Amino acid sequence: MYVGLAWHFWNTRWRGTEARRGLRAWERAAILAPLALHGWLLYDGIFARELRFGFAQALSVMMFLGVALYWVESLIYDVEGMQPLVLPLAAVAVPLPALFPGLASAGAHANATAFKVHLALAMIAYSLFIIALLHATLMAVVERRLHQKGSFFAGLPPLLTLEQLLFRVIGTAFVFLTLTLITGIAFSETLFGRALRADHKTVFAVLSWLTFGLLLAGRVLYGWRGRTALRWTLSGFMMLLFAYVGSRFVLEVLLHRA
């Protein structure tokens, strides 16, 4: 369903000759159908039996929230053209938990409220940064289209609109990432007796936080935009991806540890 919708939006938004604005009622309802099924599959796979949350589940949750955030965002802002970017990624993420089920999370901390709050904040931050990265990618597409002739990409929103939305999303995501680090420090203090552990997950998370902080500061102080924003967004997101998903992939797939 995700793939079929992505193909529809590619043909009507990116390849269409008419500039359309906003989702039609049937399109908005059609997105909710696979989104609801995706959410049910995640709940059944993660919480229904025993807590099982590895890199595959994390990626699937990120894209589920990414589609949900796009859907809500489209109610308020002009984000035409995002659909052919976010929907195929969600389609790829859906079967990952079945292919890489991972190992069950052991220990009392898996059911601790502090851990669940930390995990929820982290997934929201990740999802918002995915949306930010897709916004930056769409900006690059629109910017390139401005130097080309023809009506291709006629349905995409103005570059200035995308730029404003990009930094609003990054700013919101940065707040959630900050809360994720704060709750992670508190949880680590409770579980391990140390506020920060010098492992690569912590290092990459802090580096990502610094990268996005510098990007926001550069926007305010120096007016960073365009390709500069895209490079910083991509760099920060890759560090964030290595922080949890990368570490979980190594543990589960390569080392076979929970």
Mean pLDDT value of segment 240-250: 78
pTM of the complete model: 0.84
pLDDT the model gives residue 50: 66
pLDDT the model gives residue 195: 56
**Choice between 154 and 103, residue whose per-residue pLDDT is larger:** 103
Which percentage of the chain shows pLDDT scores above 70?
A: 80
Q: Is 168 exposed, middle or buried (0-12, 13-18, 19+ CB in 10 A)?
A: middle
Q: Cα separation of 132 and 169, whole Å? A: 6
* Structure-derived torsion over alpha carbons of residues 222, 226, 231, 234, reported in degrees to the nearest 10: 120
Mean pLDDT value of segment 112-119: 79
Q: What digits encode the pLDDT tens for the residues 139-162?
A: 888 777 776 655 455 566 777 888
User: What's the chain look like in SS3?
Assistant: CHHHHHHHHHHHHHCCCCCCCCCCHHHHHHHHHHHHHHHHHHHHHHCCCCCCCCHHHHHHHHHHHHHHHHHHHHHHCCCCCCHHHHHHHHHHHCCHHHHCCCCCCCCHHHHCHHHHHHHHHHHHHHHHHHHHHHHHHHHHHHHHHHCCCCCCCCCCCCHHHHHHHHHHHHHHHHHHHHHHHHHHHHHHHHHHCCCCCCCHHHHHHHHHHHHHHHHHHHHHHHCCCHHHHHHHHHHHHHHHHHHHHHHHHHHHHHCCCC
Q: What digits encode the pLDDT tens for the residues 198-232?
A: 677 888 889 999 999 999 999 999 988 878 888 89
Split at pLDDT 50, 70, 90, the class of 174 is very high
Contacting residues for 23 by C-beta, under 8 A, at least 6 apart:
31, 74
pLDDT the model gives residue 81: 84
User: Residues 101, 47: contact at Cβ < 8 Å?
Assistant: no
Q: Cα separation of 136 and 85, whole Å? A: 11
Q: Which of 99-113, 162-176, 192-206 has the lowest mean pLDDT?
A: 99-113
pLDDT the model gives residue 143: 79
**Choice between 162 and 91, residue whose per-residue pLDDT is larger:** 91
pLDDT the model gives residue 257: 63
Mean pLDDT value of segment 54-74: 91
pLDDT the model gives residue 130: 92
